[in-house]
Structure 1
Amino acid sequence: MSAIPTLDIRRYDTDRDAFVRELGAAYREWGFAGIRGHGISNELIDGAYERFRQFFALPAETKMKYHLKGTGGARGYTPFGVETAKDSRYPDLKEFWHVGRELPEGSKFADVMAPNLWPVEVPGFRDYAYGLYTALDALGSRVLRALALHIGLPETFFEDKTNLGNSILRPIHYPPITSPDVPNVRAGAHEDINFITLLVGASAAGLEVKSRAGEWVPFTADADTIVVNIGDMLQRLTNHVYPSTTHRVTNPPGEAARKPRYSVPFFLHPNPDVVLDPLDSCVTADNPRRYDTSITAHEYLLERLREIKLV
């Protein structure tokens, strides 16, 4: 079985044509790739993880101060057993926090992108969380430059479509599995909603990606690697040239299941008013246009949040 590739993004500056070709091929085949050489410091990643662990260790009543009912968990805390993978019987076994973009004063998107909440109980939470947010946002933009070139678009094609995107940093805590009658998937099989997702420093094995042949392929990245995958919005915009691949988080076997798992995905979203119509360059005789109705990124997001029971 072939493996999901890992590529060094520094080659974008030193060996651009080959890097773009290899990265594009990885995404066309898998919808997933590992990115190393990204330049995000271990101090920032480890410091953010430590603050997130401290937050999740707080008493439930303290965490619930930051749960905003009726907002779909857009900012702040979402407790266990709420989010449910589309078409799944069971809610996912996780709690999480959402950090969003800090908008400029008077932004036209202020009505759909709420201000952030910050837990006063954890010193340094804001600095580390938003520091990681901005670092992953910049890395995501670099990946999108390569993806744009691969499909014949200008390198900067995505810049003005994501500079005010409703992107989310989501620290997740999966608790230890202590009961034998729990379903064996911490996060059910799903595709992501957004343009691309960047997953930094998953602290345990468990991520599995569904191959085109229908097999579940484990993808545990090295410590210096960030996993980047395609979401449904970019799949739609590129008329499925870049596929949004089904993936899940399984429980590890044996004693490892009794350990908590933490992960921090960054969901890079387009600006809310971007229209997700298939790009002309991605519509061909072999790949005819798959969508006839127009939809904005914000409308698409709301539709999907309803499906996974967040709104």
Structure 2
Amino acid sequence: MKKIPSVDLSEFISDDTTKKKKFIKEIGEAFEEIGFVALRGHFLSDELSAKLYTEVKLFFDLPEEIKQSYEIEGIGGQRGFTSFGKESAKGKKEGDLKEFWHFGQEVVDNEKLKAEYPKNVLVKEVPNFNEVGMEAYKKLEKTAIYVLRALALHIGLDELYFDKYVINGNSILRSIYYPPIKGEPKGAVRAAAHGDINLITLLMGASAAGLQVKNKQGEWIEVTALPEQLVINVGDMLERLTNNKLRSTIHRVVNPPREDWDKPRYSIPFFTHPISEMPLNCLPECITETHPKVYDDITAGEFLNERLKELGLLK
């Protein structure tokens, strides 16, 4: 596979059974083969996407001391600002050449979860930043719910299997800023090769090239999508849950050619996380004689904490 497949969510949402089955087959096969798709027909408008990028650029243009005043210690970077170079890929000592901001869940009708999740951090200097960020969060979350419904049917589960885990889940909208590269990176890249922790990731169109995914042949493929498409990939939680049926594919963001080192890059992924109590035990539907169970039982919360420590975000 030399490029990621393109699918249309409007087919799944339609009342046409044939179109719905077509979408389930296409996204299911793509996630088994390469773990990535380009998705159109989603709920995030081009206008809202453009508004969010405007707000994100305004935030990252703030003076360093102001941005760092929004960095909250002791929560693994789950809300607010995380400064440059603090996150590294699993097994890599060099920090990634990026800084980022996290918007998190605004819980509805569940006091236990409201107490469990850190509160979102409000930015005074960019008045529309939080409002636009959370509006985009909700549209991406809605898209993720429908994608997971299609995947549930592909796996052989009830269509609404994931709803109880991802509605009010611990999902994160991350705004990333990769500053211009000012000197020889010495082994560091904008984002080292990694798999995502979560169930699925939804990526809004980045401001510059650089995202690559590794196919089954071990080749690095450039990920390209049209401006109106979201790039969606399987995370480690979903790979584990499906006993490797759906693939969490290794991907990276490479440094640009030297002549483009002076250009920054912005990227906004939505990491779909379930509630921490969700069991990630391999589903019986994905265990066979030829594919025996390969993972120990664990909850989503336990798995997340393990990985945040490996990334250097939690002590």
**Amino acid aligned to 2:289:** A
The 1:62/1:223 distance shift into structure 2, 3 A limit, reads same
CA contact (8 A) 2:107 2:114 kept: yes
Q: 203, 207, 229: which one pairs with 1:225?
A: 229
Alpha-carbon distance in structure 2 between the residues aligned to 1:33 and 1:166: 23
Q: What is the CA distance between 1:89 and its match in structure 2?
A: 2.4
**Cα shift readout 1:188-233 (whole Å, capped 9, x = no counterpart):** 0000000000000211110000111111111021111100000011
Q: Does 1:8 align with 2:14?
A: no
Alpha-carbon displacement from aligned partner over 1:229-255 (angstroms, at most 9, x marks no partner): 000111111111111110000012143
SS at match of 1:266: strand
Structure 2 equivalent of residue 128 of structure 1: 132
Q: Within 5 Å, which residues of 2 pair with 1:215-294?
A: 215-291=219-295, 293-294=296-297
Q: 1:184 to 1:304 in 2, by over 3 A?
A: closer
**Aligned mates of 1:181, 1:52 — CA distance in 2:** 25
Tell me, yes or no, if structure 1 residue 299 matches structure 2 residue 302. yes
How many angstroms apart in 2 are the aligned matches of 1:184 and 1:253?
A: 14
Q: Kindly indicate whether residue 11 of structure 2 is the aligned counterpart of residue 22 of structure 1.
A: no
Q: Is the 8 A contact 1:146 1:155 kept in 2?
A: yes
* Distance in 2 separating the partners of 1:95 and 1:107: 31
Contact 2:80–2:121 under 8 Å retained in 1? yes
Amino acid at match of 2:304: L
Aligned residues of 1:195 and 1:231 also touching (Cα < 8 A)? yes
Q: How far did 1:154 drift? A: 1.5
Decide whether the 8 Å contact of 2:279 with 2:300 is kept in 1.
yes
Contact 2:3 2:222 in 1 (8 A): no
> In the aligned structure 2, how far is the partner of 1:255 from the partner of 1:101?
40
The answer on whether the counterparts of 2:282 and 2:297 sit within 8 Å (CA) in structure 1 is no
Matches of 1:253 and 1:37, distance apart in 2? 33
Matches of 1:182 and 1:35, distance apart in 2: 36
Structure 1 segments of 4 or more deviating over 6 A? none
Distance in 2 of aligned mates of 1:181 and 1:159: 42
Q: 297-306 or 106-115, which moves further after superposition?
A: 106-115
Q: State the Cα deviation string for residues 147-179 of structure 1 (Å, max 9, x = none).
A: 111111111111111112100000000001121
Is the partner of 2:27 in helix, strand or coil? helix
1:110: Cα distance to partner? 3.3
State the AA in 1 paired with 2:9: I
Indicate the residue corresponding to 2:208 in structure 1.
Answer: 204
Aligned to 2:41: 37
Q: Secondary structure at the match of 1:189?
A: strand
**Which of 169, 176, 199 matches 1:165?**
169
What is the deviation of 1:182?
4.0
Q: Which amino acid aligns with 2:161?
A: F
Indicate the percent of aligned positions where both proteins have the same amino acid. 48
**What secondary structure is seen at the aligned counterpart in 2 of 1:128?**
helix
- 1:309 matched to 2:302? The reply is no
SS at match of 1:171: strand
1:148 aligns with 2:152: yes
Instruction: For 2:116 and 2:298, locate their aligned partners in 1 and report how far apart those are by CA, in whole Å.
Output: 16
Quick one: structure 1 residues 182 and 175, their matched pair in 2 at CA, closer, same or farther if it must change by over 3 Å? farther
SS in structure 1 opposite 2:113?
Answer: coil
> Against the structure 1 CA distance between its residues 6 and 257, is the aligned structure 2 distance closer, same or farther, given a 3 Å change threshold?
farther
**Which runs of 5 or more residues in structure 2 are unaligned?**
none
For residue 183 of structure 1, report the CA deviation from its aligned partner.
Answer: 3.2
- 1:40-55 equivalences under 5 Å are 40-55=44-59
Whole-Å separation in 1 of the counterparts to 2:109 and 2:4: 42
Out of 172, 175, 180, the position equivalent to 1:176 is: 180
Residues 40-76 of structure 1: per-residue CA shift (max 9 Å, x gap): 2111111111111100000011111110112211110
- Give the counterpart letter for 2:20 in structure 1: R
Output the TM-score relative to the length of structure 1.
Answer: 0.97
Q: Is the 8 A contact 2:137 2:173 kept in 1?
A: yes
- Equivalent position amino acid for 2:190 in 1: R
RMSD: 1.3
C-alpha spacing 1:155/1:105, structure 2 compared with 1 (3 Å): closer
SS in 1 for 2:261: helix
Residue number in structure 1 paired with 2:95: 91
Is the Cα contact below 8 Å between 2:35 and 2:246 reproduced in 1? yes
